[in-house]
Amino acid sequence: MGGAGGVPELEAIAFDLPAKHYLFDAAAWGLPNTGSPMPTIPCASAADCCAPAGAVGLDCHTLTCDAGGACAAQIVAEAPPQQLNLLMEVPALSSLDGKKLSDVAISRIAYSAVSTLATPLSPVGLYVAPAGVASAADPQARKIGIVPSIPTASISSGAVTLDPAGEATLGAYARDPATAFTFIARTTVTIAAGDPFPEGSVDLVVTGALRAKVR
């Protein structure tokens, strides 16, 4: 059927994104296995933390002096990145034969998580980047949303809070279904004086649904 002025209307399509798993495993964070909590180390700056915290096995580069004047560890944790090729992984798009998508919109981005961590997991940022990018620290990575904090030893689920530019960012990557791109999940774990060192893991699954027009 033609649109206004005889311009053909574009075909509308809706499809689910394949589920992507992100594993946050405390065993990979390089933390000491002392069975004791983070020691209380007074400080005026991060430089005061290196020697005493290093003595219990903490990396100096992870240390900071918090607002209370005590040393804390801040671990930047990224799950292994997940590549997505829409043309190969979404059956509804497999017959597009070189066509592109336009007006890409997010219907839903959701998460589910199984945690065995003995502490909560801080909110997780979700990023997209070109294929081959392995870290959200890469300037090509762009945030699309945030998964809220995952409670201690829990099973939870809910909606991802989208970044204001998240829909446009994801849509830009989804326009060409034949071009693969990467999803990255990243969080910062803060261990304050007296906190237990995290043990266990979080298996985070992100799903979603998009709608678009085929051109």
DSSP string across 151-192: PTT-EEEEE-EE-TTHHHHHHHHHTSTTS-EEEEEEEEEEE-
pLDDT at 30: 86
| Residues 128-178: tens digit of each pLDDT | 999 999 999 999 999 999 999 999 999 999 999 999 999 999 999 999 999
**What single-letter amino acid sits at 31?**
L
Q: Is the dihedral of CA 130, 134, 135, 139 positive or negative?
A: negative
pLDDT at 1: 43
Q: Structure pTM? A: 0.89
The answer to whether 92 and 15 have CB atoms below 8 angstroms apart is yes
The answer to whether 212 and 17 have CB atoms below 8 angstroms apart is no
pLDDT at 34: 61
| Residues 173-205: tens digit of each pLDDT | 999 999 999 999 999 999 999 998 889 999 999
- The H or E element that residue 144 is part of is strand 142-147
Structure tokens, 198: 């995290």
**Domains of the chain: which residue ranges?**
11-214
Measure the CA–CA gap between 65 and 47, rounded to whole angstroms: 8
